[in-house]
Amino acid sequence: MVEQIIEEREIPIDGRRHVQSMLMRESLLDKQVMTSTDTPVVPMLPFCHVIKIGGRSILDNGKKAVYPLVEVLGRLLETFKLVIGTGGGVRSRHVTSIGMDLGLPTGVLAQLCIIDALGNAHMLGTLLAPFGVVAIPPEILGHMLPFFIKSAPGVICNGDPPFSIWEQPPRLGRIPPHRTDAGTFFARGVLRLRDTYPDQRCERALRGRSQAQSRCQIYWRNHRLGPQTAQPADASL
């Protein structure tokens, strides 16, 4: 094996200096190569649940909607490890409309929207602080999450993916397609956390854990294929 590596380095056949690996000299765009990479994935935080709290649907409604939810979350935190993502709500919509009127592109609108969801995460984080929930800045969420979630019952962060100016232009118009639902859902995917529950459904779903997964899947499926054009979750999901 060692000899082989040395040989590869000394006689580069195609002028490129390679490192011996399964994907060496392969085009990662070759469909056969891509298929060969379909292998099992390790679960990173299989004991956690992800909950996305809506911006406009919950937080913007003030204490009448948020206080009862905080009570529920407080009770759940006694039993479950929760990773909570927040939406940006009405302020994100407002900044989007001004930004669009000013001619700003999708990537800039995405960067602006992150800030509102972050503000909401701070507010809800303040209310959940008595229960030991830690608010984590998005830059360190990924790598510090295992540490915080082992030490605290829950963490809270903005739901957006960190795409910012790398956000992808949508098919129609220019509203960022990957918003807080999508961001929370992607994070769930990589960390192999448990299901993403939209808003108020969390308690019911978590309490009936045996059926939780299928219920969550049905929720997404119904709304992805539903007849209405307006969906309760980001269409990019």
Partner 1 sequence: MDNQPLDRLTSALVSGSVTDEEEMARLDRQPVIQILPDANVIKIGGQSFIDRGREAVFPLIDEIVENLPKHKMIIGTGAGTRARHSYSVGLDLGMPTGVLSVLGFFVSIQNAKMIHYLLARHGIPSIEPAQFAQLPLYLAERQACVCVGMPPYAYWQPNPEIGRIPPHRTDTGCYLISETLGCRSMIFVKDEEGLYTADPKKDPNAKFIPKITVDELMELDLVDVVLERTVFQLMKNAKNRRSVQVINGLKRGNLTRALNGEPVGTLIFA
Which of positions 146-175 make contact with partner 1 (CB under 8 A)? 161-175
Dihedral sign for Cα atoms in the order 100, 106, 107, 111: positive
In angstroms, the CA 48 to CA 26 distance is 37
Query: Shortest distance, CB of residue 38 to partner 1, whole angstroms?
Result: 5
Q: Which residues on adjacent β-strands are paired with residue 50? A: 83, 196
In angstroms, the CA 193 to CA 196 distance is 8
Q: Indicate the residue among 85 and 153 with the shorter CB distance to partner 1.
A: 85
Query: Shortest distance, CB of residue 65 to partner 1, whole angstroms?
Result: 17
- Look at phi and psi of residue 199 and say left if phi exceeds 0, alpha if psi is from -120 to 50, else beta: left
Beta-carbon contacts of 214 under 8 Å, excluding residues fewer than 6 positions away, are: none
Kindly state whether residue 11 participates in binding partner 1, applying the rule CB under 8 A. Answer: no
Kindly state whether residue 86 participates in binding partner 1, applying the rule CB under 8 A. Answer: no
Stretch that binds partner 1, among 70-78, 105-113, 124-132, 211-219 (CB under 8 A): 105-113
Residues 6, 7, 18, 46: which binds partner 1 (CB under 8 A)?
18
Query: Shortest distance, CB of residue 153 to partner 1, whole angstroms?
Result: 21
Site for partner 1 in 111-150 (CB under 8 A): 139, 141-142
Match 């809270």 to its residue by tokens.
156
Beta-carbon contacts of 51 under 8 Å, excluding residues fewer than 6 positions away, are: 73, 82, 83, 84, 85, 196, 197, 202
Site for partner 1 in 192-231 (CB under 8 A): 192, 229-231
Kindly state whether residue 74 participates in binding partner 1, applying the rule CB under 8 A. Answer: no
Residues 65, 72, 74, 105: which binds partner 1 (CB under 8 A)?
105
